[in-house]
Structure 1
């Protein structure tokens, strides 16, 4: 059975990891989440669940600073992955136990280690004392210290990577 928001948050408590959770109406986009900012200080992200174009290798969970624009091909090259495309809803549910709109690194609590490769934007993880993610549902947001999130993922058997994400060329 996949973890639920309650079991995920209980795991954090049991490990002595400080986290602050706020309930709110469902949000599906970065723009919608920006309206919640007075209650959610810290870094905010966009999370891309990507699959290898030819089925080679693990899925990729790219956790980016919310306003960072990135080319999927440049991102794949930067982390040494094959060409990537967006993962489908069925794969998202199977691997992370979440629906579209709730993609989060906390979903790795439901992933078999090695099936999803987590890569984090260095600017997000080193530029904020707290980072915010949905705890498996887009009706809540949980703030956690970046080092605690990485430690939690390692305890689950994952190997999170913090990398310099490539910037996309300007539009137009």
Structure 2
């Protein structure tokens, strides 16, 4: 079995991040039907759009954020959502947001930049990251997310995503992200 993470890529507790195959096994153990496709690695929404073909359902982007106090959030929203970080910080009563570093991302979620996904909360055993989910995602029949690496996409139902997040100890705070949308102008 191919390892996707090197020996020096470790979580804050010193353990190795979950491998994609183990994540997919966990989904199956939970009775979650998921369909996974492999593709060239993608790092941006634009690259994903160009490669996705006919994958149905919600396509998402994920923002790994922290505030001045060091608290962290993983915000999953529709891929085309323009997010005003100041407005989002106010909505979440978090203060000013900045993006978390690649090192922090690996330490807490066990993924690299470009592979950020709500499924990565499985690696946050200490509950340091707050999961926030755009309510609009729940209106789609399927949600497409990376299974911890950016060269695969896994589709699952919104109900199953919520079930997984709950099982991982990260029940999602559901938020109307249109309230945090960047103003046109």
TM range (shorter): over 0.9
State the shift of 1:77 in Å. 1.2
Which ranges of structure 2 fall in alignment gaps of 5 or more residues? 1-15
Q: Distance in 2 between matches of 1:158 and 1:45?
A: 18
Which piece of structure 1 moves more, 35-44 or 25-34?
A: 35-44
TM-score, normalising length: structure 1: 0.93
The two structures, once aligned, show a CA RMSD in angstroms of: 1.2
Which ranges of structure 1 fall in alignment gaps of 5 or more residues? none
Q: Map of 1:157-172 to 2, 5 A cutoff?
A: 157-165=169-177, 166-170=180-184, 172=185
- Alignment length, in residue pairs? 168
| 1:155 alignment partner, one of 167, 175, 178 | 167
Q: Distance in 1 between matches of 2:126 and 2:38?
A: 29
Q: Describe the SS at the equivalent of 1:46.
A: strand
Q: Distance in 2 between matches of 1:109 and 1:135?
A: 11
Residue number in structure 1 paired with 2:33: 18
| 1:30 alignment partner, one of 42, 45, 51 | 45
Q: Describe the SS at the equivalent of 1:45.
A: strand
| 1:73 alignment partner, one of 86, 97, 107 | 86
Residue number in structure 2 paired with 1:141: 153
Question: Which ranges of 4 or more aligned residues in structure 1 deviate by more than 3 Å?
Answer: none
Q: Is 1:119 the equivalent of 2:132?
A: yes
Residue number in structure 1 paired with 2:59: 44
Q: Tell whether the 8 Å contact from 1:113 to 1:158 is kept in structure 2 after alignment.
A: no
Q: Distance in 2 between matches of 1:149 and 1:89?
A: 24
Residue number in structure 2 paired with 1:101: 114
| 1:132 alignment partner, one of 144, 151, 156 | 144
Q: Distance in 1 between matches of 2:81 and 2:131?
A: 17
Q: Distance in 1 between matches of 2:128 and 2:168?
A: 13
